[in-house]
Structure formats: structure tokens, C-alpha cells
Amino acid sequence: MGIASVPVATHEFHDRRTGPGGCTRPAEFDAVYVSHPIQDQTKAEIEAKADAVVEELVARLTKC
């Protein structure tokens, strides 16, 4: 569809054959990973995790 996208997952799923939700991921799955867990984190902790990867996300979304 021509829409830039980058998968984001926690490190828990880095070496697994399945991604979040149990979906089988393709071999070329190249996600940006954040530290695990996220479900019990405060807003500030989640923002810190996002801040840690935002530059990588922007770089991947804007590369030609």
C-alpha cells in the first residue's frame, strides 16, 4: 500500500518464532524492540521506553 511502517515489540519476542498475539512472524521480521514488560508500567515508564527507540523508528520510517 506504500505506507511506511515498522513493527514494535518487546524483547520478550525477539528470539521467538511467534510475535505478540501468537502470530507467526516471517523470517524477515525486523522489529524495533523495547524492554519487557509494558502492561504494568506507569505512563512515565512507557514514555521512557518510547523515547529510547523513537530515533530508530523515525530513521526507519524515513529512509529511502
Q: What is the pLDDT of residues 3-54, one digit of tens each?
A: 888 889 888 877 765 555 556 655 556 789 999 998 999 999 999 999 999 9
Q: How far apart are CA 9 and CA 23, in angstroms?
A: 12
Q: What pLDDT does residue 21 have?
A: 59
Is 1 within the bounds of a domain?
no
Is 53 within the bounds of a domain?
yes
Q: How far apart are CA 32 and CA 19, in angstroms?
A: 12
Is 2 within the bounds of a domain?
no
- Domain containing 53: what range? 8-62
Number of domains in the chain: 1
Q: What pLDDT does residue 30 have?
A: 79
pTM above 0.75, yes or no: no
Q: How far apart are CA 2 and CA 29, in angstroms?
A: 18
